């Protein structure tokens, strides 16, 4: 055989050695196929071999149901509590598991894939069980179960003493279950198949507001208070006043922060606990949900003025109200008219509300060094006489008049805030003006004509006629 023939034969053999494996890899063992999971792949003891995507999702959904019904036992000293995985907010991430199962043995170079598949075929492969545990749900459930051995932390708070002084009530640490360690222990049970008995560890839980935090807020005394009176016999209105005022009780406002009445109180609806009571709509009193809430906003507005806080937004009613002087009311309508103020002091504000014996009161506390003497002056700029409107009434005798609506004057008013310290005026400020619509005086005028029946004399009895 010639040297040239030998060289050609070796070249053909090399080409064969290179091409055949490529063809084998590309169209045989590693053909794309239908994305079925390779034989030998498992998750948490569940065999996924040969399943396509839809079959895999059904299998994993079944596995999730089984796992959620798994009962763990929580242990602490001589106590034991059962806990279902479903109560811990356990949830399999089927999509992530399926993606990993399908991609296993199909990544990397052709040689790497061949090696991985050989390993899977010989020894099998358990993939990571992607799952979530709801931390908050687990924490709440464990807290309920272990209430006899745990103690809730107590936030530092304020205590009002002698009406206008403020003291700090110290915080207290709590004792609770180490939820992060418990989650890790649950993972060991799930992945490594350990006995589902978990020994709890207790840790110290700090309060959200410590004594030091509350002391730094700088709330030391009363800045202002204001009270308005209502009729407690009007049950629905009284109830609404109580619900709205309670939303502000113990409210903390940081320096520079703006407070929206509507955001604090929320929607006035039956679902929120409000009842039907008179409200002003289109310059007249009608029944509406949340009647009485405007007395709360008005009381707060006047307290804001006396505390020398910045008024950001305020609107007056269309008619005067009886519980404050003209020009000092503040109406609110959810998603429309709001009362807003800003904490323009250098310390926190602390609000307290009380509703009792037909009175609603606001107290605003802050740094006592910021307390000022505040005088609010109001004046009626213009009184607008009501228009007299005559309406015909066919049910009244012609020419007769009755007053159907007395009417009321309208007003334009202005207000001024004068702030003093130790008898010296520090500044004066024009407050939002007010306009109240006049209410028409309505007089009904009768148009009915009386036609008496005509009776012929011959039809009357003789004794009906006068004798001569």
Q: pLDDT of 170-188, one tens digit each? A: 999 999 999 999 999 998 8
Name the more confident of 339 and 8: 339
CATH superfamily, with its number, for domain 372-450: Resuscitation-promoting factor rpfb. (2.20.230.10)
Q: What is the mean pLDDT of residues 345-366?
A: 96
Helix pair 235-246, 293-306: axis angle to 10 deg:
50
pLDDT confidence of 222, banded at 50, 70, 90? very high
User: If you ran DSSP here, which 8-state letter would residue 247 be given?
Assistant: T
Angle 316-319-321 (CA atoms, 0-180°, nearest 5)? 80
DSSP 133-149: E-HHHHHHHHHHHTTTT
Compare 49 and 32 and report the one with higher pLDDT.
49
452: tokens are: 């008496």
pLDDT one-digit tens code per residue, 383-427? 888 888 888 888 888 878 888 888 888 889 999 999 999 999 999
Q: What is the pLDDT of residue 23?
A: 44
pLDDT of the residue at 459 = 47
Q: What's the mean pLDDT in 195-204?
A: 93
pLDDT at residue 8 is higher than 50: yes
Cα–Cα distance for residue pair 141/261, rounded to 1 Å: 35
Helix (H, G, I), strand (E, B) or coil at 213: helix
The average pLDDT across 253-272 equals 91
Q: Where are the domains of the chain?
A: 1-27, 217-371, 372-450
Is residue 11 very low, low, confident or very high in pLDDT (cuts 50, 70, 90)? low
Q: Are strands 41-43 and 125-126 parallel, antiparallel or unpaired?
A: parallel
- Residue 468: predicted pLDDT: 34
375: Cβ–Cβ under 8 A, 6 or more apart, which residues?
Answer: 417, 418, 420
Q: What is the pLDDT of residue 216?
A: 96
Which pairing describes strands 71-76 and 197-199: parallel, antiparallel, or unpaired?
parallel
d(CA 214, CA 348): 9
Alpha carbon distance 108, 421 (integer Å): 80
297, 332 contact by CB (below 8 A) = yes
- Quote the strand ranges of 334-372, DSSP E: 340-342, 349-356, 359-366
Q: Using one digit for the tens of pLDDT, what is the confidence trace for 437-458?
A: 888 888 888 888 866 555 555 4
4 pLDDT higher than 90: no
pLDDT for 278 equals 57
* Per-residue pLDDT reduced to its tens digit, 303-319: 999 999 999 999 999 88
347/217 Cα distance (integer angstroms): 6
317 with 294: CB under 8 angstroms?
yes
Decide: 106 and 22 in contact? Cβ < 8 Å: no
Residue 193 has pLDDT above 90, yes or no: no
Q: What pLDDT was estimated at residue 319?
A: 87
Q: What is the mean pLDDT of residues 156-177?
A: 93
């Amino acid at each position: 055989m010639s040297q040239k023939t030998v060289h050609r034969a070796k070249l053909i053999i090399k080409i064969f050695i290179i091409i055949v494996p490529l063809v084998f890899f590309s169209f045989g063992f590693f053909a794309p196929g239908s994305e079925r999971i390779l034989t030998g792949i498992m998750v948490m003891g569940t065999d996924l071999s040969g399943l396509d995507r839809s079959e895999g999702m059904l299998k994993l959904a079944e596995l999730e149901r089984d796992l959620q019904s798994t009962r763990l036992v929580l242990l602490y000293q001589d106590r034991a509590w059962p806990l279902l995985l479903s109560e811990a907010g356990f949830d399999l991430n089927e999509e992530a598991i399926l993606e990993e199962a399908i991609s296993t043995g199909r990544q990397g170079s052709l040689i790497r894939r061949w090696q991985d598949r050989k390993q899977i075929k010989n020894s099998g492969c358990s993939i990571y069980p992607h799952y979530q545990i709801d931390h908050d749900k687990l924490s709440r459930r464990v807290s309920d179960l272990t209430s006899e051995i745990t103690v809730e932390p107590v936030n530092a708070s304020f205590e009002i003493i002698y009406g206008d002084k403020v003291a700090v009530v110290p915080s207290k640490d709590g004792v609770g279950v180490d939820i992060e360690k418990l989650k890790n222990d649950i993972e060991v049970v799930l992945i490594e198949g350990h006995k589902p008995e978990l020994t709890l560890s207790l840790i110290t839980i700090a309060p959200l507001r410590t004594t030091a935090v509350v002391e730094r807020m700088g709330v030391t005394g009363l800045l202002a208070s204001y009270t308005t009176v209502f009729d407690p016999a009007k049950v629905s209105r009284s109830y609404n006043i109580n619900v709205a005022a309670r939303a502000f009780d113990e409210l903390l406002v940081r320096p520079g922060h703006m407070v929206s009445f509507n955001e604090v109180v929320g929607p006035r609806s039956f679902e929120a606990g409000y009842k039907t009571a008179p409200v002003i709509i289109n310059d007249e009193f009608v029944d509406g949900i949340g009647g009485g809430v405007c007395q709360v906003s008005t009381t707060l507005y006047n307290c804001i003025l006396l505390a020398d806080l910045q008024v950001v937004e305020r609107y007056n009613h269309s008619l005067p109200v009886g519980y404050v002087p003209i020009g000092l009311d503040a109406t609110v309508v959810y998603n429309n008219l709001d009362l807003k103020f800003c904490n323009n002091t250098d310390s926190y504000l602390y609000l307290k509300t009380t509703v009792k014996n037909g009175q609603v009161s606001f107290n605003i506390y802050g740094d006592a060094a910021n307390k000022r003497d505040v005088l609010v002056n109001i004046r009626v700029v213009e009184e607008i006489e009501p228009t007299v409107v005559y309406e015909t009434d066919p049910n009244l005798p012609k020419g007769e008049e009755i007053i159907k609506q007395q009417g009321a004057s309208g007003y334009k008013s202005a207000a001024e805030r004068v702030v003093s310290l130790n008898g010296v005026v520090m500044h004066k400020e024009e407050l939002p003006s007010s306009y109240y619509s006049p209410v028409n005086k309505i007089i009904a005028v009768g148009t009915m004509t009386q036609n008496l029946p005509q009776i012929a004399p011959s039809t009357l009895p003789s004794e009906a006629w006068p004798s001569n």
